Structure 1
Amino acid sequence: MGVITVLAVAGMASAVFIARISYGEASAVNIAGSLRMQSYRIATALEARRNGDFITSKDIEDLSDEFESRFNDPLLTGAVTGVNNQSLQRIYSLVESRWSLAVSPLIKAFIQEIETGTSAASLDRTSRNFHTLIKSFVNDIDKLVYQLEETAESRIHLLGLMQSISLLLTLMVAAATLYLMQTDIVSPLRDLLSSAEKAGEGDLSVRVGHTGPDELGRLGQAFNTMAIQLSRIYEDLEQRVEEKTQELTQRNNSLELLYDISRGLTKAPISEPIYRKMLSDIAKVVDVKSITLCLLDHDSRHAHRLANSGTIPPMCETANCEICIDDGKQRKLIIGDSNILSIPVNDQEQQYGVLLIEYEIGKSMESWQTHLLNTLGRHIGIAIGVTRRVNQRRRLALLDERSVIARELHDSLAQSLSYLKIQVARLSILIKPDDVSAKVAEVIAELEEGLDASYRQLRELLTTFRLKMDENGLTAALNETVEGFRERSSLTINLDNRISGDPLSVNEEIHILQIVREALSNITYHAKATKAEIRLSQNADGKVIIDIEDDGIGIPPQADRTHHYGLAIMRERASSLNAKIQIEPRSEKGTRVRLQFLPKNDQPNLSQDAVEI
């Protein structure tokens, strides 16, 4: 209490002292401020005297004397000299010197010029100089006023600071007293009770702060030891629960993924957009960089990259499919800065391709990931197998229907044309050339020519309908067609088929095969060529491109006229495919036939393979 009393007395004494030394400062500020007004009054009086108003030189001198009286007022000079403020004293001296050395002499000179009747130009010049000087002089007075105000405010701030320090010291002494009273008993006891309540609510991270050598400190140590042991037990239990939860979450995600993939595979054809989305979903669940699906071409042992979820694996750039396919079993590869896991895509003993899973170096695949990927590989293989078997059944059904149509055409239209040919031949024999006119002979010749053309066209149509395409699809049919033309002619034919997988429907395969047959037939019988090349490929956009080239004599300008049925058949087939066909001469020699179209493999229903004649 004694310390608090001393602090209170010191605070009051400091307040009395500051109030005493601040006496008269407000009046000094007012006097200094009035100097600005007095300066402007002098300037206004000079202008009035110059203009002949009722102002005398004596009035102006009185105003100047009043300015000096205010400037030398004891309150103002006392405020300036009573403090140790060099800035204030310096600005006061500056105002005093400028008044005595510049402003006052210029006032007297201005009055003298007015009294002596100096020229208007000289008065204007003196007036401008005076006003410029007054503006600068008033600025100096403003600085003097500012310094006086700042001095007064600093004393007020000093008073506030001393009072604040006194109050703060008083509060600190009171707080120290309370702290010394409660620190050894009240606070440790409250801390212990609070910690016990939190521990009872399940918060085992709480610890007692007071662990000193006294009784409460020893009790706090025992409480902290108990809380640490209980926390370890709970953390172990929570870790086990979290591991089981993660395991169940993984299983649920795997089952959900398997369900979604299985449902999608039953409804979707083998197409890049659908499989790309499936692979992206798989990569997200399994947590790998990317997954690529490659379908195997059993004839060439090469693979076709159907879809991928991210970046293309490094080994796909070399087109060495044996690295991934090999013996058709699961393999692990290390290429560059990635691990590659090759998962076979098969249905029973039949392998249709591989899943290439790319993941980072230093990361290993867990057993659940490998098991899920193998299961998905089997599901995709089953879906591909079902799709291919359905396509085979459609292909066989379509070929059977075409065979039936071919037999019906042979039994009806072919026999009718044969009968007409026989009748026209009889008519030609019965009518002697001398007995008929030239027009009748011309009509008979046109009949014979028309029947021959119709018969040839019918034979081509029957050949088309009798075209065989077994379960091996387009590749086997193209090889068989090329081999047949090789045997029937001396033509050297090279076949380069780079279409793998199942991008084409049954009708598209038949149209392509027939266009190739028509082109080879034209090359064999009309082009006088020695070599032909057939190239089939599919670009990144899924567009199928077929090039058929020869080194023959080319197509004559009259190729599109009547009875050039091969070109017409090719264009008609291309139109059925919604394809673009180009028949043009090569830069060297010969002809190039180019067919481009986008397969309609994005229509899952059966209508896409409806029978087309």
Structure 2
Amino acid sequence: MLKRSVTSSIARALAGIVILSVLSTSLALLTLSGSLRDAEMINFAGSLRMQIYRLAWDLDTRSPELEAHLHYYQQSLNAPVLQHLDRFYVPENVRNRYQQLKLSWPLLREDLNSGNPGRYSQHVVHYVGKIDRFVYDLQRYAERKMQLVALTSAIGFVAIVALAFWTIRLTRRQVVKPLNHLVVASRYIEQGNFNYPPLDTSLANELGLLANTFNRMSGELKRHYSELENTVKARTADLMEAHQTMTILYEASQALAVSSLGHPTITQVMEIVFTRARLTALRLDVGESWQIALGAPRPDKNWQRLTLQQENQPGGELSWQEGDREPPAPLMQSVGNLLSRAIWIHQAQKQQQQLLLMEERATIARELHDSLAQALSYLRIQLTLLKRTINAEQQPAQQIVSDVDQALADAYRQLRELLNTFRLSVDEACLPAALQAMLTPLKQQTSAEINLHCSSGFDALTAQQQVHVLQIVREAVLNAIRHANASHIEVSCSTQDNGEYQIVISDDGCGLTTIEEPAGHYGLTIMHERAQRLGGSLQMDTLPTEGTRLQLRFPSQTTDTVAD
């Protein structure tokens, strides 16, 4: 418990030194200030004696200056410097001497005024004696003040030196020595030795509290060191086990990497696991086409089973019987994931031909747009000629021609938009600038407010990625302009914590009653295809009267190498 703060004690000692210095200095200065006019007082007192004798001379010689000298003496006797002697701190004998002079002066003044030199001479000797004693007392008074200044300074100096020595001794005993002990103890602990010399915990100040805390801390640290050693031993055993697990997984991964995926490769992986993990039996069941069994099962041992997951769905089972020791659960879980993934990839390879066929058909569909443009132009010209050949009275024929013309105009407009989309190029170095350049002409086609917000991090996109993103954003904004009747359209681009890119196109339009694309329209389908080419996903949320929100998410690196 902290009873006496060493900092407070030192602070009080330093404050005492300052106070003593101020008091001794102030008292000395005050005494000296009171002695400034002592010499003047002694001179005035000494001049009184000379003036008394001069008055006696003037009386004997009948000097005409007697009145002037008499008046001057009266002024000297009542001089302001001598009036200060009436203060309470002036010694009583000095005040009495001065009062006696003032009381005896009227008698001498009567002698002077009567013109009787003999009588004045009788009294002047006694009066001069009083002046001498007054001057002597003034001198002693001035000397005592100087002695008081010297004594005060000496006492203050001695007290300050004593207090300074006491402060130094207190600091050495309660600060320096305990700190040295703490430094020695810290060096012991730095070397891993907790048997340091004992610390003084009896001090009722900060250093005593620090010593107690240091002892408790070292005890806790010693306990933690012991626990850490035990933990290191346990972790070493875990690392040996993890090393075995990593070795098995590495060999299994190598077997999968250097060979084409198939039944022999999966069997080789299972043999590696069976041998390295020293299992009694190992079996894989994935449908009817994947049933592999190794080892000789023993009836006295239990089977351990692990369900394989494919696309978050149960896809088979891996079961085993342990051998001399149970294999680590993470090892078998990793082996199960590895086998499940390898089987899934093998199945995906079988679908590759179908995907290639779909890709080829999509390419053919895009190429047909250019040929259709000429056919639609020709049909519009022929329809114009047909209008000229039909009479105005043939209303049904005119209506049919108008409907066909409207349909051709819509088809031609849609085709031109598709052509513009396919011809879209990236002229800017970064996505925000390219988006701004793409949105600028679209703003002129609508009264809706189109805002773009892009964060940093899109500079790493390749040109192919930018083309896909620009085409998706352009199609979404055009849909909002033409079909949503929106007044505000927002395009927001940001990067997520996991490294994915997110682009959101939202509007406050009328929304859609369904997200199913009408027959004969392929805008949403193409947008989804482009999102897949980016390795991401496209999600659309819409409600009637509440607008539409389209969200595109894709990773920073994709495997798409095909340009549109």
TM-score for both structures, normalised by structure 2? 0.31
| TM-score when normalising by structure 1 | 0.29
